[in-house]
Amino acid sequence: MPEPVAVLGVGMHPWGKWGRNFVEYGLAAARAALDDAGLTWRDIQFVSGADTIRNGYPGFVSGATFAQALGWSGARVASSYAACASGATAIAAARAQILAGLCDVALVVGADTTPKGFFAPVGGERRDDPDWLRFRLLGATNPAYFALYARRRMELFGATEADFAAVKVKNARHGRNNPNARYRTEVTAEEVLASPMVADPLRLLEICATSDGGAAVVLASMDFARRHEQDNPVRVAAVSTVTPRFPQTVIEMPNFSTDSAAAVPGEPGPTFRQSIASAAYEEAGIGPEDVDVAEVYDLSTALELDWYEDIGLCKEGEAEKLLRDGDTAVGGRIPVNPSGGLSCFGEAIPAQAIAQVCELVWQLRGRAEGRQVEEARVGLSANQGLFGHGSSVVVTR
């Protein structure tokens, strides 16, 4: 296992639809993280930016964009794009610099300004791009894609629309006490089920929005943390950025992507999403039974149920029972998305994996007022980026 890296500071710009340049959100988050760490911008030796491809050239070189906005200081810089996993990839880049001894302290920043409605492919006609093909050949917008997974869950495991609505009710209850969340109003199951149908069986309140927002973390070596009188910081114990493994290579829509597992004999291995968390567990030297709190990628309420199984909180087909028993609510055995998740935030793509880590750090510090998971010592994040980007971070205290 690699040596842990300390999380000295975390910060966010609240999610919403603010209509401003993404750099403003990143700057606000970065300054909040620096203040939280008790450091100044000139203390930072490495800047790791999570890219946003919808905000022009500055979004493609976000590390340098944020470094310029904070004031050129000579810090080393990198920029990472991995779709929704961009934030985790940026964290991995900064952590690697620290573990290699190339720097002592690093700033990781991600921010986005998003369009109204669902995300569409950018960059014109790209016939070799699976994202473009998904939209143009299948007509599968993101909500339709989420609905396919929901239907799959209903067919395989007997999930109901009431189960999907219950996920939203839980996350809305969590998110009401999160000052960074965009949606902070509790809802009833009846209200969820009365909201407009978007992509059967998913309704408006069961699909995440697109949002503006930013998040940042300050990472450091344990020696640097001790020199700055932080003897027991939250630690990054693992970062998983795995890709699919043959023959388990379905990375997009079930039954529509090329599933070589169906044509190749032999014992099937873990699915791609299962491998994301299992790699993080292996690196951290823990198992799912050790996790106290999790932040997962709830593009839809149905997908959150899939993640319960993918990260090993229960066996396949048992996610609904976990939910119904109250185990995944704050106060339950293994709270999931105490932040409110994307259900309450919406997607600000390069920021969301970083935002998950921010929430886990606040939880492990005991500073998640109104949504605190008692005695949380181990936190896990999980999401995935388009076209095979894993994303999972384990933090411990």
> Strand pairing of 105-112 and 46-50?
parallel
State which fold the 5-117+212-236 domain adopts. Peroxisomal Thiolase; Chain A, domain 1 (3.40.47)
| Region of poorest pLDDT, from 133-142, 229-238, 250-259 | 250-259
Fold matches, 5-117+212-236 and 130-205+237-396: yes
Q: Which of 143, 139, 121 is nearest to 299 (CA)?
A: 143
pLDDT per residue as tens digits for the range 98-117: 999 999 999 999 999 998 87
Residue 367: Cβ-neighbour burial (10 angstroms; 0-12, 13-18, 19+): exposed
60, 53 contact by CB (below 8 A): yes
Please state, in angstroms and rounded to a whole number, the distance separating the CA atoms of residues 27 and 42: 14
- Domain extents for the chain? 5-117+212-236, 130-205+237-396
pLDDT of residue 249: 64
Residue 69, SS3 per DSSP:
helix
Please state, in angstroms and rounded to a whole number, the distance separating the CA atoms of residues 166 and 171: 9
Q: Which of 283, 281, 309, 279 is nearest to 296 (CA)?
A: 309
pLDDT per residue as tens digits for the range 236-288: 999 999 988 877 665 554 434 444 444 455 456 788 899 999 999 999 999 99
Residue 319, SS3 per DSSP:
helix
Name the CATH superfamily housing domain 130-205+237-396: Thiolase/Chalcone synthase (3.40.47.10)
